């Protein structure tokens, strides 16, 4: 199985900050990598697919980059509604999620 | 619009089975596979498995080998997930999800809470 490791597990930030979350795969997933946002009590919401493609309706302050085994989700100018938990998912070989990164208010 | 409507919450005894349904609408059912994902209380997301809505082929995570059965009913555009030999650590919120072209998960059901307790 492909293991996905996210870092950090928790990130404290302020409104307006630029934040980055890293996801590393135990073996290459080429660009079969997605990012999701989840708020408490809600189902996850797709943000990015194929490592860098922005899902329709997602604000352009979200962006994804990377290929192979290392990926980054960046949020430019963090907004109040962005405080949530973020997960990466590989879908190169079956599927696996990262452990999650909670973005909290500093 | 795309909708995935799951069956209601369940309480089960250890050793029992549970079957969760996922009624879909708003898109062509046979064009996209269905994945199942679960989330234990306070924990992260865990992929359980995938089913093709074309031919019923399935893949599932190794840890659920022999315990999970994924099926679909194309006449009602409904997917089902059955988990057997339930244990207390199967207590979780179970989601069905529609995949996009490639395998990312574009739409999610509202979740079904399965509680396993004696």
Q: Chain-wide mean pLDDT for chain B?
A: 97
On the question of pLDDT at B101 being above 90, the answer is: no
Q: How is residue B21 written in tokens?
A: 């349904």
What is the per-residue pLDDT for A73? 98
Q: Are strands B18-25 and B78-83 parallel, antiparallel or unpaired?
A: antiparallel
Mean local confidence (pLDDT), A61-80: 97
| First-to-final CA distance of chain A | 36
Nearest to B109 among A1, A34, A43 (CB): A43
CB contact under 8 A, B45 and A89: yes
Whole-number Å distance between alpha carbons of A10 and A67: 23
The per-residue pLDDT for range B4-58, each reduced to its tens digit, is 999 999 999 999 999 999 999 999 999 999 999 999 999 999 999 999 999 999 9
* Percent of chain B whose predicted confidence (pLDDT) is above 90: 97
Phi and psi at residue B90, to the nearest 5°: -90, -5
Which residues in chain A have Cβ-Cβ distances shorter than 8 Å to B95? 43-44
Size of interface A-B (CB pairs under 8 A): 57
Q: Which residues in chain A are contacts of B110 at CB distance < 8 A? A: 43
CB < 8 Å to B46, chain A: 97
Model pLDDT for residues A5-45, shown as the tens digit of each residue: 999 999 999 999 999 999 999 999 999 999 999 999 999 99
Q: What residues of B are in contact with residue A1 (Cβ under 8 Å)?
A: 61-62
| Cβ-defined contact of B45 to A32 (cutoff 8 Å) | no
Per-residue pLDDT band for B102 (boundaries 50, 70, 90) equals confident
3-state secondary structure of A31: coil
């Amino acid at each position: 199985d492909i293991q996905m490791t996210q870092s950090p597990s928790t990130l404290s930030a302020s409104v307006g900050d630029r934040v980055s979350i890293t996801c590393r795969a135990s073996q290459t997933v080429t660009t079969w990598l997605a990012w999701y946002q989840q708020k408490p009590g809600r189902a996850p919401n797709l943000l990015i697919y194929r490592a860098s493609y922005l899902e329709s309706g997602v604000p352009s302050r979200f962006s994804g980059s990377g290929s192979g085994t290392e990926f980054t989700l960046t949020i430019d100018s963090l907004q109040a509604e962005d405080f949530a938990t973020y997960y990466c998912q590989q879908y190169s070989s079956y599927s696996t999620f990262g452990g999650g990164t909670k973005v909290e208010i500093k | 619009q795309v909708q995935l409507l799951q069956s209601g919450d369940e309480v089960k005894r250890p050793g029992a089975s549970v079957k969760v349904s996922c009624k879909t609408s708003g898109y062509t059912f046979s064009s996209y596979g269905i994945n199942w994902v679960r989330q234990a209380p306070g924990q992260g997301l865990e992929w359980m498995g995938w089913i093709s809505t074309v031919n019923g082929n399935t893949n599932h995570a190794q840890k659920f080998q022999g315990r999970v059965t994924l099926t679909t009913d194309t006449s009602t555009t409904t997917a089902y997930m059955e988990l057997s030999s339930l244990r207390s650590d199967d207590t979780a919120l179970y989601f069905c999800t529609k995949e996009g072209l490639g395998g990312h998960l574009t739409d999610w059901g509202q979740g079904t809470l399965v509680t396993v307790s004696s």
